[in-house]
């Protein structure tokens, strides 16, 4: 009897899971059809013309391969999937334009029209990419590849991958869903690419790019991935710049929501990042801009990998963070309209809401540090290698700590126009002449000043 009840419960859970997935797909597919059915496309191919069935059971891998090869060899540019169909593939589909020389605006547009592609596994090959966009290794390979309105999904056991692109510029992935994949999107050495209005649900990696420039992530949402968005370069202004993540959401990632490394001129704007151990991780990126970002429960960290690879020339404005902030190697930067709250002491070595190390010439304005938990010791803690820090209009619920002795700190700290529930303290109880603090202790409503003439 117990076995019977267990079987019935397991069947009910499986049925509800499949039903929910099918319902989500049907709603999205209907919307996608409405957006594309009024757009006429002349001279388009269909995968059905090359033998695809699209019933969710027949293997359509070879039909896709033949259609892509035919389009390339006959210089055709559009392939249409059929609305509402469910195509099954079991291995990679190469969109292979290698050996074609400089393409000069050649490429392919795949219109999903609300169709879905099920990535099945055959002979243990769960590491393939559904679509491999392959071009010659040439600078500025001026192509035009677009994939639109497709729902990619797996069986939540095996994890094949979505779309891979090597060197093809001007490539756009638009209005696609990636459900329970390994790596949904992986772009390398490409430029002028866009990822618009895509959804990543339960993938290992949402979007990964390496040494891509002049590219956008716009209006995307990653939910319950391991790593939502990973954007990396090698700190080369000529090859790894102008990367924008805007109007996007990432939440409930098990490792991090957004990681940037080795980029010039990255921009993060109008985004929500929350419910991850690390909401935002920035490593050795320069000339960056972060504005209008809500970082829910989870941490933010800026780190530098060496004395020459710091986070220089950042403008950070209107950041609302509900987790600890680690600012490492932040230099020649401005931070304004910054609110930090809900910081706990767990996994917080400095026991501070904001921790600064190796920071130089940073200006903080309109900074609020509120309602920390677990009797957090400090609102801000400065490592001995920080210098030339100005803070104005600070409202803090805890004291500020200057680590190290006066002989260790480079100095030049200024704090004015601020209200602190506590004091500004140094570990050796000594101050340099260049360390000037004027503030009101909100606990005692007492004005404090350590200007030289008041020593």
pLDDT digits (tens, 9 = 90+) for 405-453: 999 999 899 999 999 999 999 999 999 999 999 999 988 888 999 876 5
**pLDDT tier for residue 455 given thresholds of 50, 70 and 90:** very low
pLDDT per position as a tens digit, 357-377: 999 999 999 999 998 777 889
> In the prediction, which pLDDT does 306 show?
67
Distance of CA 58 to the CA centre of its chain: 36
Mean predicted confidence (pLDDT) in 43-54: 92
What is the reported pLDDT for 34?
56
**Higher-pLDDT residue of 19, 142:** 142
Which residues face 143 on adjacent strands?
Answer: 106
- The phi and psi torsions of 42 (rounded to 5 degrees) equal -85, 140
pLDDT at 102 over 90: no
pLDDT tier, 36 (very low <50, low <70, confident <90, very high otherwise): very low
Identify the band that residue 43 occupies on the pLDDT scale cut at 50, 70 and 90: low
* Mean pLDDT calculated for residue range 48-76: 94
- DSSP of 350-419: T-EEEEEES-EEEEEEEEEEE--STT-SEEEEE-TT-EEEEEEEEEESSEEEE-S-TTT--EEEEEEEEE
- As a whole number, mean pLDDT of residues 75-92 equals 94
Of 287, 248, 284, the C-alpha closest to 266 is 287
Q: What percent of the chain has pLDDT over 70?
A: 87
How much is the pLDDT for 140? 64
% residues pLDDT > 90 (the chain): 69
How large is the average pLDDT for residues 83-97? 94
| Dihedral sign (CA 19, 22, 28, 31) | negative
Sign of the four-CA dihedral 49, 55, 58, 61: positive
Cβ neighbours of 112 (radius 10 Å): 28
Buried b (16+ CB within 10 A) or exposed e, 319-356: bbbbbbbbbbbbbbbebbbbbbbebbbeebebbbbbbb
Whole-angstrom CA distances from 258 to 253, 310, 336, 346, 422 are 9, 18, 21, 22, 34
Q: Please report the pLDDT score of residue 187 as a whole number.
A: 96
Taking residues 302-317, report their average pLDDT. Answer: 87
| Region 305-330 average pLDDT | 90
Q: What per-residue confidence (pLDDT) applies to 7?
A: 40
Contact between residue 178 and residue 201 where contact means Cβ atoms under 8 Å apart: yes
The rounded distance, in Å, linking the Cα atoms of 296 and 272 is 8
CB-based burial, 400-412: b 16+ in 10 Å, e otherwise: bbbbbebeebebb
Give the closest residue to 338 by CA, choosing from 301, 278, 294: 294
Q: Give me the mean pLDDT over the 129-152 stretch.
A: 87
Residue 22 — very low, low, confident or very high, per pLDDT cuts 50/70/90? low
pLDDT digits (tens, 9 = 90+) for 152-163: 999 878 899 999
pLDDT of residue 11: 45
pTM of the full predicted structure? 0.89
Say if CB 424 and CB 400 are below 8 A apart.
yes
pLDDT at 200 over 90: yes
Band the pLDDT of 32: cuts 50, 70, 90: low
pLDDT of residue 414: 96
User: What does the pLDDT average to over 181-207?
Assistant: 96
Mean pLDDT of the chain: 88
- Closest residue by Cα to residue 311 from 282, 349, 281: 282
Give the pLDDT score at 141.
67
- Which helix (H) or strand (E) element contains residue 4? helix 2-36
Cα-based angle 182, 246, 276 (whole degrees, multiple of 5):
50
Question: In the block, which residue shows the tokens 């000529």?
Answer: 238
Return the pLDDT at 337: 95
- pLDDT of 347 reads 85
Average pLDDT rounded to a whole number, residues 259-274: 96
Give the number of other CB atoms < 10 A from CB of residue 246: 16
The total of other beta-carbon atoms located within 10 Å of residue 252's CB is: 16
Instruction: Let me know: does 86 contact 115? Beta carbons within 8 Å.
Output: yes
Q: Where are the domains of the chain?
A: 305-455
Q: What is the reported pLDDT for 39?
A: 39
């Amino acid at each position: 009897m117990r076995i019977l009840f267990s079987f019935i419960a397991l069947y009910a859970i499986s049925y509800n899971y499949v039903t929910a997935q099918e319902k989500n797909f049907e709603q999205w597919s209907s919307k996608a059809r409405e957006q594309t059915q009024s757009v006429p496309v002349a001279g388009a191919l269909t995968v059905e013309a090359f033998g695809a069935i699209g019933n969710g059971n027949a293997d359509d891998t070879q039909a896709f391969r033949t259609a892509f090869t035919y389009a390339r060899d006959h210089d055709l540019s559009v392939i249409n999937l059929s609305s509402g169909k469910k195509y099954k593939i079991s291995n990679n589909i190469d969109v292979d334009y290698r050996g074609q020389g400089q393409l000069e605006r050649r490429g392919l547009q795949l219109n999903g029209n609300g169709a879905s592609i099920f990535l099945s596994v055959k002979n243990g090959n769960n590491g393939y990419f559904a679509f491999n966009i392959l071009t010659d290794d040439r600078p500025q390979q001026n192509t035009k590849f677009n994939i639109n309105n497709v729902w990619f999904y797996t069986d939540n056991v095996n994890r094949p991958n979505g779309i891979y692109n090597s060197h093809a510029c001007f490539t756009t992935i638009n209005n696609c869903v990636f459900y329970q994949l390994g790596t949904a999107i992986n772009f390398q050495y490409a430029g002028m690419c866009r990822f618009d209005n895509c959804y990543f649900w339960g993938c290992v990696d949402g979007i990964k790019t390496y040494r891509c420039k002049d590219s956008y992530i716009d209006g995307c949402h990653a939910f319950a991935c391991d790593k939502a968005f990973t954007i990396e370069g090698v700190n080369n202004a000529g090859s790894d710049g102008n990367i924008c993540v805007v109007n996007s959401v990432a939440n409930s990632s098990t490792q991090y929501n957004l990681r940037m490394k080795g980029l010039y001129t990255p921009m993060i704007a109008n985004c929500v990042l929350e419910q991850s151990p690390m909401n935002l991780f920035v490593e050795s990126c320069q000339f960056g801009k972060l504005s209008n970002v809500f970082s829910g429960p989870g941490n933010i960290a800026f780190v530098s990998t060496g004395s020459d690879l710091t986070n220089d020339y950042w403008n950070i404005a209107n950041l609302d963070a509900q987790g600890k902030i680690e600012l490492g190697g932040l230099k020649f930067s401005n931070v304004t309209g910054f609110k930090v709250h809900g910081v706990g002491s767990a996994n917080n070595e400095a026991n501070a809401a904001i921790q600064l190390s190796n920071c130089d010439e940073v200006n903080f304005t309109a900074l609020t540090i509120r309602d920390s938990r677990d009797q957090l010791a400090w609102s801000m803690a400065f490592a001995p290698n920080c210098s030339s820090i100005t803070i104005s209009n600070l409202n803090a619920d805890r004291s500020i700590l200057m680590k190290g002795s006066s002989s260790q700190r480079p100095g030049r700290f200024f704090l004015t126009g601020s209200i602190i529930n506590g004091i500004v303290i140094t570990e050796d109880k000594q101050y340099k002449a260049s360390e000037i603090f004027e503030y009101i202790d909100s606990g005692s409503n007492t004005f404090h000043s350590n200007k030289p003439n008041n020593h």
